Structure 1
């Protein structure tokens, strides 16, 4: 399996699906791939997906993440962002690497921890997926109990809130209930392309202060 895996080249924007992968094989593959890589993985009941994002995907991920961080800072809310950390649970036979994730309400619980175990620790309060390649696996996030999933697709922000084990589209964020983010985040993301990142972040921070 490892020899075959080492021979696989996943071009940016493409994905490879491997079937009948045991949990032990999944763990071995993760170790073989290493932490410092471009590829993302998702594992669900024996099916392993390996995907390499496009540069466009990475750019949007960074900018949306920067907007989220600026929002949390202006609201003076402590948070912890863990990027594409691998979240996995052997009992559920599932694993996922988000584009980014944020501990907000549960930040104090995971503060200072170098390793997280989802059988003990809470899941992220918010996960972010940039769906340039339609990679999102909402069923895995739902199984882990991630309360809020943001999907950015075709220039639009979808806010999904977990209710009774399933995600439902929402006009407002559970973490930021008083802000019209569905319109604001895409608007300021587009501004980054014309105004530049730094100037846009300053304008966005001013907008947040005006809202509160």
Structure 2
């Protein structure tokens, strides 16, 4: 029993302990670290390596400065007769295949209609191929099947771009190509699309390291205990 005097009023108050004893419970320990979740970009906005490889090949191998220099370099390789000529021939063919999406800057030598159709060919190729590549990457499981799907997507896009350009040339009379030229353009689109597709498929299916956990934003709470 504890007696206390109220000095202000002169009364004596009797304070009794509660009927139920209070049990002291230890506080729950704080976690050692509190990790703040880092917001990630939505799946649809992440950059696809296969699309990046496609755009890089078109910009680097298809510009009017790289194409003639690559062909000249391939022709300048030392060669010979028979098998000795094979490296130079392969280098020239690869440079020619990768330069299929040849995009040109407008100039006075080119007609406006011809330049627009050829530019549309490259833009259509990149747009269709990027859409098909995203679709393949999202629906096809990883492995050889995805690589074949990406290879086919790029090749089909190249053929579609060439056929559309040929039809536009014939419609607007911007080119005097005959049936043989049309077949050569389609064949070159198949080979060029296949060569570009090999690089794109490799970029889209190669093994990448899993992302490591970022502990830079972890807050250590043990020092606040």
Same fold (TM over 0.5): no
Report which structure shows greater RCO (CA 8 Å, sep ≥6). 2
Q: Per residue, is there more strand in 1 or in 2?
A: 1
Which TM-score applies when normalising by structure 2? 0.28
Higher gyration radius (CA):
2
